[in-house]
A = this chain, B = another copy of it.
């Protein structure tokens, strides 16, 4: 059921079939290098999140620039990464259910290192049993709620209690603390993001201190996203950054502001949806062949990149363009790029990433873990 690729190597961009995911390789490589440089020479490691790109080719390039491994959110996503040659994966999420836990334990035999997070004692018991059935020792991190109000046990003593529960299990090892503040990533001003991460840092430090007092070392103290990574990196407590979106950026991250009130510009938009105008029934209105099955709308509609127009609405297979300059000649057949509203769920809609440099298709990469739900 893998769909045919929309492009072949050597093709001109204008020849790429649509809708297609286009990766600007120059921008992409600059983003990878910039993030790698940001931690070079420090004790902080990069463990980029593969949930954003789901692409083993990208994970390999992150590892080549120094990443210690990747994060995944799903066991099947981790399986896809390991099968494609990524040796070290943290499932930075809870995993519930015997089938998934048995597969996770099986994967630990195949990979160099597989870790998982937990926030529930019963779930820890189930992970231990699965590891026992497979004959492996599974590293487990305690997820703590550092202010996002989502998953995770409370920082401090509740985290210590769960860590002790893990450490006492025959088939588990306590591997540290998962301390991701997801809601902080898209707070618009630097002051808001700093305030949220200051809280996260304090709660994480309190927890790590309590764990150490209980004799429990934390090999991994992980968290951070593209919106706040510099804050966690400078914290003196986080030692792994789980950044994902920086490789692509998207319209939602593009709305974050720097200290000076201007939009963030540390990373460049490298990912685009390439679309064709298929209908142009009135001078001021046109319709592209990309809709709700070609981009996610949870964080707003995509931005139009190549022409002066606004994507005003989307239905399943239509994107409604309002043209800033009404055009009296038919634009049917013309192609343009859109900046995704939210990169992660958009990438998951595609089987292929078309890599372009200088207007020429240089490579076509599989979205290895596309649809990895389990």
Contacts and interface: CB of A to CB of B under 8 A. Distances in A.
B182 A315 contact: yes
Contacts of A332: 94, 96, 120, 122-123
Contact of A333 (B1, B97, B290, B370): B97
A242 B154 CA distance: 52
Contacts of A18: 97, 374
Given A93-B317, A296-B292, A373-B350, A280 B120 contact: yes
A326 interface: no
A256 interface: no
A300 B81 CA distance: 32
A289 B333 contact: no
A371 B344 contact: no
Interface in A273-300: 276-281, 287, 289-290, 292-294, 296-298
Contacts of A2: 1-2, 371
B292 A333 contact: no
A100 interface: yes
A126 B298 contact: no
Given A3-B371, A152-B281, A297 B294 contact: no
A349 B351 contact: no
Nearest to A151: B279
B278 A96 contact: yes
14 contacts: A1-B1, A1-B366, A6-B373, A17-B99, A19-B373, A51-B316, A96-B276, A97-B276, A123-B333, A154-B281, A290-B373, A292-B298, A292-B344, A371-B371
Interface of A: 1-4, 6, 17-20, 51, 73-74, 76, 93-97, 99-100, 119-123, 126, 145, 150-154, 182, 276-281, 287, 289-290, 292-294, 296-298, 314-318, 320, 330, 332-333, 342, 344-345, 348-351, 366-368, 370-374
